[in-house]
Amino acid sequence: MSSSDTAFVVERRSIDIVPDSERHGRPFNQFTLWLGANLQITGIVTGALAVIFGADAFWSIIGLLVGNLLGGIVMALHSVQGPRLGLPQMISSRAQFGVYGAVVPLCCVVLMYCGFVASSSVLAGQAVAALTHIDVTAGIIIFSAITGVIAVVGYRMIHALGRIASAISVLAFLYLAFRLLQESDLGTIIGERHTSVPEFLLAMSLSAGYQLAYGPYVADYSRYLPRSVSRKATFWSTYAGSVLGCQWSMAFGALAAAAGGSAFTANQVSYVVGLGAAGLVAAVLYFVIALGKLTINVLNTYGGFMSLVTMISGFRGQYRISRRARTVYIVAIIVVGTTMAVLGRTNFLPNFSTFLFFLLTFFTPWSAVNLVDYYCIAKERYDTPALTDPDGRYGRWRWRALLSYGLGVLAQLPFLATSLYTGPLVGRLGGADISWIVGLAFTGLLYYFLARSDRNTVPEALILPDEVFDTGAPGDAIPRTAVNPAAGVAATAGEKELR
């Protein structure tokens, strides 16, 4: 079938490894996916928060850029794992946390996806309601239903949607930038500079947290790439798409908030569309907003379903699930996210900012553990069949990762500044929130020193199930003839090593 035909075929794979015979695509597809996913209204709102919380537009844009550049590195390093392992991101966490222990970060991940589905649905529901002249609640429900259908179809349709959304969104954002330049005195806005260090660091934290929150699912969308794809190509395609898309939308949001003031904070969607005047142009902009939110909402729903399956399957010993089960899990994520959207739509901006900082606290330590293990301890050498076996190489619980993760969360608390909690050291830093920097550095170093003394679980080479390999590609793999003797794990039938 042609690529356009296969885009509408329901995906077979979920948490199981993608065989070489089913690999497809190019690294450039990662660029279009993440560009389209980030050129949308949530990025605008995130950038606007820096100005709403007191920073000027100029230093907000600089702070957002620094946060995107730094956070994007972590995000893209996760993406590189996809083609190598052929697995969704959170499955690989079992190598660090244990088959059961991975549930600890997974609980937070599932909550994150539900929250992102809710926030996307609020903004998209406003656009759908304005476009179709229906109630906002009805707009949220319609939008959620479309999201669910695309998520059920899966990977190919998601990437097809990303290509369409990236092309349309680039044109729309160019037009909106032109209109904002016409409608506002941007020279004066940029010239007003009064930002303090804490406000600058807040802008950094907003964008860095936005990027870091992609970590738990970014490899879900690169895992079908051929194993032969260059690591650098995967990294830079993902990095460029995500950083460019995020910075463009966030910089626009900072300028729009500074120019629009209360008109922007009252209704972000209406203000943005109002830049395009009315009539047909306004209708097109409402459609673009809904399309951008659809792209990211599908990613969140698909990633949420993957994480929910990963969490449950670890205890049930499942290696794969049926298409019917896929649909049930996706519907569950949609229902929870939609309910949160309907209940929280009237107080969106404060709820969303609190949610972003909550994510930063709990996902920064997970990223640190996962990346240090993958690149410094295991060095890409995992026993993938053992990821589904509680009695296998990785066991049920791995205390080194769990301890590092727990202490990493606690280490951030003195430096955390949110409406829910402010740490005791925040005042000494002038109100600055540097918790994410502490979380990355402290957790990464702690896990490295704890894990480097225990390499019994690291095989001599990457071990993949026999079914992953193409029979017509001799030399790509050799039969497994030995394992790391210190691991104490016997070779199993049907496994091969990739050297």
What pLDDT, in 10s, does the model give residues 400-438? 999 999 999 999 999 887 777 788 888 777 777 788 889
* CATH value at residue 12: 1.10.4160.10
Region 140-152: mean pLDDT is 89
Contact 234, 34 (CB under 8 A): no
Is 463 part of a structural domain of the chain? no
Is 369 part of a structural domain of the chain? no
- The per-residue pLDDT for range 56-81, each reduced to its tens digit, is 889 999 999 999 999 999 999 999 99
Is 245 part of a structural domain of the chain? yes
Is 433 part of a structural domain of the chain? no
Is 247 part of a structural domain of the chain? yes
Q: In DSSP terms, which residues pair with 498 in a beta bridge? A: 462
440's CB contacts (< 8 A; 6+ apart) are 74, 364, 367, 368
Tokens representing 75 are 């995000």
Q: How far apart are CA 487 and CA 195, in angstroms?
A: 55
Is 400 part of a structural domain of the chain? no
Q: How far apart are CA 233 and CA 31, in angstroms?
A: 10
Residue 199 has what pLDDT?
A: 85
Residue 469 has what pLDDT?
A: 59
**What's at 39, amino acid-wise?**
L
Which residue is associated with the tokens 């050498």? 381
Residue 251 scores a pLDDT above 90: yes
Task: Look at the chain and report how many structural domains it folds into.
Answer: 1
Is 28 part of a structural domain of the chain? yes
Range of the domain at 245: 3-355
Is 448 part of a structural domain of the chain? no
State CA 366 to chain mean position distance.
Answer: 13
